[in-house]
Structure 1
Amino acid sequence: MIYNLLYPLSDQIGVFNVFRYITFRSIYAFLTALVIAIFVGPMIIRWLQKLKFGQYIQEDVAAHRSKAGTPTMGGILIMAGTLPATLLWADLTNSHIWLTLLVFVGFGAVGFWDDYLKVCRKMNKGLSAKVKFLAQVLVASLAMALLVGDPAYSTKLAVPFFKDILPNLFIFYIPFAVLVMVGSSNGVNLTDGLDGLAIVPTVVAAVVFGIFVYVAGNVKLAEYLQVPYVVGVGEAAVFCSALLGAGLGFLWYNAYPAQVFMGDVGSLALGGSLGFVSVLAKQELLLLVVGGLFVIETLSVIVQVGYFKMTGGKRIFRMAPLHHHFEMKGIPESKIIIRFWIISVLFALVALSTLKLR
């Protein structure tokens, strides 16, 4: 909004020319979202407490019993920082921004619906898995139909580390991209089981994809680093910066011991939007590296369930997702969280290295 209002005046007032730079606006989107999240955090937490929106606690983990009653649906706080910051600092004539916000809000709405059933209707399992999955697919499919409808957008798939391998998926690109978004959202959701565990890998991923969309949207950088160039996609870096700021603001209250949990309204919105940004940047497969921690957590659940069914009740892990396995082994929660954070940073550095290793 600020860009659309002030940049046109740069011919008369030279200082307004600074708004043309995505880097400048990304910095201020980050700061805006961070300040908003930290400022409104206590008000949102008190509101959630007043409504008795307490988190459903995993009874199998003794250490979690003290968390009973901690308000959930804190993803509202992340949205409260991300949305206004993005709308303030992004170019609102850019369709990529609106599609990203569509995915962010759409997946968040599915998560809100799920959380509402859990905490208000006392339905511990919330939405059925089928309804939840179909709702996510609907949002993702709508966004992809609108994105691919742009003739300038390519359905080719970039392969990390290989600059010349660009298979064209044609009509199969939409279901593939939908799978990326739904898988990403559920990966973040499964990881969100300890205080601050999911939000730090998410903001780390936001930094990485903020860099990738900026590069992909800059014709000179894209040519130099030999990544697919996508017209106008650099503007999504403003969203990534806003997400980073709001995420850190949320961490202020979600760090151990947490005052609030993000709930599905946060985890689905974060995962879905990161998946969509990876699609915008033409780095869909790289999401497996950037979100390596989410992949490990998801695989631990798949392996656990599959092995349990095949063996008639035996388990590989003491409990899944993987972070609960370590909890059951007696490792302190804070140590598990910090180690998982370190792992997420390592995955992010490997992902960034693909800019040169190709």
Structure 2
Amino acid sequence: TLWWPIYGFFIWMIITGFSNAVNLTDGLDGLAISITFVTVSTLTVFTYLTGNLGHATFLGLIHNPAAAEVTIFCAALAGASLGFLWFNSPPAEMFMGDVGSLALGGSIATVAVIIKQEFLLGLMGGVFIIEMLSVMLQVASYKTTGKRIFKMSPIHHHFELLGWKETKIVFRFLIVAIFFALLSLATLKLR
């Protein structure tokens, strides 16, 4: 019973932190939603495997019978992400805003908590974590030394100021997100 308050605080930190990480990433056309699609698609695989007793047992996952419904939610979220990306790709006709990015981040983190993959979420959503860490490092460096590490944070704006085109940044970050997704799927057999 002593661990429940600690675990509750841990869950709160994950959901709050990941919501803000997605929000920080939403600074270029198509960036946050394309990475969200990759992350949610990976979570869809994990929720399906977690909800199936045979697969969960074989892969060493914690079986959760309710994960079947969560799989449908993740698949719907992935589909909605693709639909939104159609209008948010450069040049964007529609913007997500804080309401969308915070809700997506909270949804992704909540799914990870439900299927007990809180730590793996850091790998699945690695680009979001990198974006958040770039802001944290920039603020910490500026407050302690008065110097900036990056030209601007989050890090995608740093690359913008280096002269990279917006589409180049989005596609390169998407490639990194796919790499993190494949790496997290590889952990299924590395347990």
Normalised TM-score (structure 2): 0.97
- Alpha-carbon distance between aligned partners in 1 of 2:3 and 2:164, rounded to the nearest angstrom: 45
Give the distance between the partners of 1:248 and 1:169, measured in 2 at CA. 39
Residue aligning to 1:294: 128
Cross-structure match for 1:238: 72
Q: Distance in 1 between matches of 2:143 and 2:84?
A: 38
Query: Are positions 1:194 and 2:47 aligned together?
Result: no
Q: What is the CA–CA distance in structure 2 between the aligned matches of 1:169 and 1:258, rounded to whole Å? A: 46
> Which residue is 2:114 aligned to?
280
Q: Give, as a single letter, the amino acid of the residue that structure 1 aligns with 2:79.
A: G
Among 154, 161, 183, the residue aligned to 1:321 = 154
**SS in structure 1 at match of 2:31:** coil
| Secondary structure at the counterpart of residue 195 of structure 1 | coil
The 3-state SS of whatever aligns with 2:116 is: coil
Amino acid in the other structure paired with 1:193: G
Q: Which 4+ runs in 1 deviate beyond 4 A?
A: none
The count of residues paired between Structure 1 and Structure 2 equals 191
* Alpha-carbon distance between aligned partners in 2 of 1:220 and 1:269, rounded to the nearest angstrom: 32
Q: Which residue of 1 aligns with 2:103?
A: 269
Are 1:354 and 2:191 matched, yes or no?
no
Q: Give the C-alpha shift of residue 231 in structure 1.
A: 2.5
SS of match in other structure, 2:119 = coil
User: Contact (CA 8 Å) 1:217, 1:232: kept in 2 or not?
Assistant: yes
Q: 2: distance between equivalents of 1:347 and 1:182? A: 21
**Match runs of 1:145-184 below 5 Å:** 169-184=3-18
Shift of 1:235: 1.4
Q: CA deviation at 1:169?
A: 4.1
Structure 1 letter corresponding to 2:128: F
Partner of 2:88: 254
Pairwise CA distance, 1:211: 1.1
**Offset of 1:203 from its aligned partner?**
1.0
Question: Percent same amino acid at aligned positions?
Answer: 53
Letter in 2 for 1:270: L
Query: Which amino acid is 2:144 matched to?
Result: M
2: CA distance, partners of 1:344 / 1:316: 23
Distance 1:326 1:226 in 2: 40
The corresponding residue for 1:12 is none
Q: TM-score, normalised by structure 1?
A: 0.52
Offset, 1:175? 1.3
Per-residue deviation, residues 25-71 of structure 1 (Å, max 9, x unmatched): xxxxxxxxxxxxxxxxxxxxxxxxxxxxxxxxxxxxxxxxxxxxxxx
- Greater share of helix: 2
Q: Structure 1 residues 214, 169: closer, same or farther in 2, change over 3 A?
A: farther
Structure with greater Cα Rg: 1
Q: Deviations over 1:111-135 (max 9, x none)?
A: xxxxxxxxxxxxxxxxxxxxxxxxx
Deviations 1:168-193 (A, max 9, x none): 94332111111111111000000000
